Every structure is written in C-alpha cells, then in structure tokens.
Amino acid sequence: MRLALGIRYNGQAYEGWQSQRSGRTVQDKLEAALARFTTQRIGTLCAGRTDTGVHALMQVVHFDTAIEREPFSWVRGTNRFLPDDIAVQWAHPVPDEFHCRASALSRRYLYVLSESPVRPSLDAGRVGWSMYALDGDAMRAAAALLVGRHDFSSFRASACQARSPVKDLRRIEITRSGTGDRCRWHFEFEADAFLHHMIRNLMGCLVRIGRGDAPPEWIVEVLEARSRKVAAPTFSADGLYFLGPLYDARWGLPAEATLQGGGAAYDGPP
C-alpha cells in the first residue's frame, strides 16, 4: 500500500528536510517516529525539500508499506513519537502511481516579513525582518515582471541540482497588514517548481526594490543576466514557509492539498 501524509513543522531546530548524518532533520525525525510506530524501517519521499530554518504548513510525503491501519491511526501513532514542533496532519492511501513530487501540479511558498525599527523577538525565527520602510507598489510592479516562464538562473543557488533553471512562476501576491512603522508583509509565490534558494533570492531583490535602492525595472536586468552576481544577496530563511504542493482531485487527497480545493490556508504568526 502507498500512503501519503500531510505534515506541518517549525523548521527552526532542524537542518532542513533531507536526512543528514547528524540526524537533525525533519526527515530523520519523521522516519524515526514511523519506525517506532510500526517497528519497521520506512523510507519517505517529500514533495519539496526545505532548507535549514524553513517551515512547512503542508509538506506532503509518501511511502510504501505492507502495514494496514486506519488513517487516523497513522496520524496519532506517528505523532506520539514526533517532537512537538513536527506533526502529521492527515494520512491517506493513494494509488501506486501517485508520487508526491512528480504528481504535483504546482507548489506554493509564503514569506512573512516584519517591517519594524526593532528586530523580531517573540516571533524570532518565524518572520524575516526589514528595518526600512518598504514601497508595496514598487515591489508589486517588479513582481509582475517576474511572472511567467523564464530562465531563473540569477535566482539559483550554486548547489542547485535542478535539471533546468526554466520555471513557470505563475503568481506572486504581496499584501501588507498593520499601520505605522510596525507592519507585516506577506509574499506568496506559486510555480510549477522552484530552484534551490529561489524564493530567498527573489526576496532579496524585491526588498532592495521596496527600500528604493533599485527601480522595479531592475528586476528584468537581473532576470536577463542569468547570473547570481548581479542579484541581491540571499535573504534570511526565517520567514519562509512551504505552503505545500497542489494535486489533481482524482488522487482523493484532502481539499487543502488539491488544486480545486484551493490549497492550505496560512495560519502562522499574525
């Protein structure tokens, strides 16, 4: 039987998703919990690997097992052995041809940014930070120039293993909440797939434009250069959330994981 799980985690304490020798990754903790619950070794595949310090609202994994238990048993049983900052949200049997990565129609990320003269404290590690006031109209104008199918080499980490830098960036939404010199910005990104550090590199450029250090049109120069050397530095991982992949409804996954269902809603810091 192939089983899919939806997982949320706070990434502050972990060295990203992918298993490491240190054992301090989300995948290591999940597979250890599954092994204790089932008394068998279970290897998992994920929809999108996250970096050190990056959070997930709906990471989706799948694995094959001969063990048959009710979905609620997989959720409760696995959560019993997980640390408090990782929790399985749902479990669902899927056909053998389902693949959490290859079957995804799109992926979504959210960056939460605090604009304040003082650095974050209670929500440190859960939001990014700008001590400078940001121009939302300028950032939205730049974001509109990024939407579409492009070569995103300028926003790609040197360690990126993607076969192609060409991605279809389908949507960037930038919203602001709060007034005065203390507010929150939400940057939501949706694409067919993302390159390593792509969101953080896009954020670095958008924030530079928002501060007034470059005009919105500068983003086109960066895009066309196809070189990391011309882009802004990689932005902090603190405020980055993997909102999750979206699938066709035919797989029978919960509505929050389907394109028709609209995806998971963000419920992070205010």
51 in catalytic set: yes
Instruction: Check which CATH number belongs to the domain holding 181 and give it.
Output: 3.30.70.660
Q: Answer whether residue 251 is part of any domain.
A: no
Asked if 1 and 114 count as a contact pair (C-beta separation under 8 A), the reply is: no
Regarding whether 137 and 32 lie in a shared domain, the answer is no
Q: Kindly state whether residues 145 and 71 are assigned to the same domain.
A: no
Say what percent of the chain tops pLDDT 90: 89
Q: Is residue 183 one of the residues assigned to a domain?
A: yes
Structurally, the chain folds into a number of domains equal to 2
The number of helix segments (H) and strand segments (E) in the chain equals: 5, 10
143 and 224 share a domain? yes
CATH number at residue 75: 3.30.70.580
Q: What is the mean pLDDT of the chain?
A: 94
Q: For residue 192, what pLDDT is reported?
A: 95
Per-residue pLDDT band for 269 (boundaries 50, 70, 90) equals: low
Contact 156, 196 (CB under 8 A): yes
Contacts of 11 (CB under 8 A, 6+ apart): 26, 50, 51, 52, 53, 54, 55, 56, 237
Predicted confidence at residue 268, as pLDDT, reads 58
- The catalytic residue among 28, 51, 135, 151 is 51
State pTM to two decimals. Answer: 0.94
Whole-number Å distance between alpha carbons of 173 and 190: 9
Q: What integer pLDDT is reported at residue 168 of this predicted model?
A: 97
Summarize pLDDT for 143-164 with one digit per residue, the tens. Answer: 999 999 999 999 999 888 889 9
User: Residue 267's pLDDT band (boundaries 50, 70, 90)?
Assistant: low
pLDDT at 266: 65
**In 10 A of CB 117, how many CB atoms?**
9
Q: At what angle do helices 198-210 and 136-146 cross, to 10 degrees?
A: 140
- Four-residue CA torsion sign, 192, 198, 199, 205: negative
Q: Specify if 222 maps to a domain.
A: yes
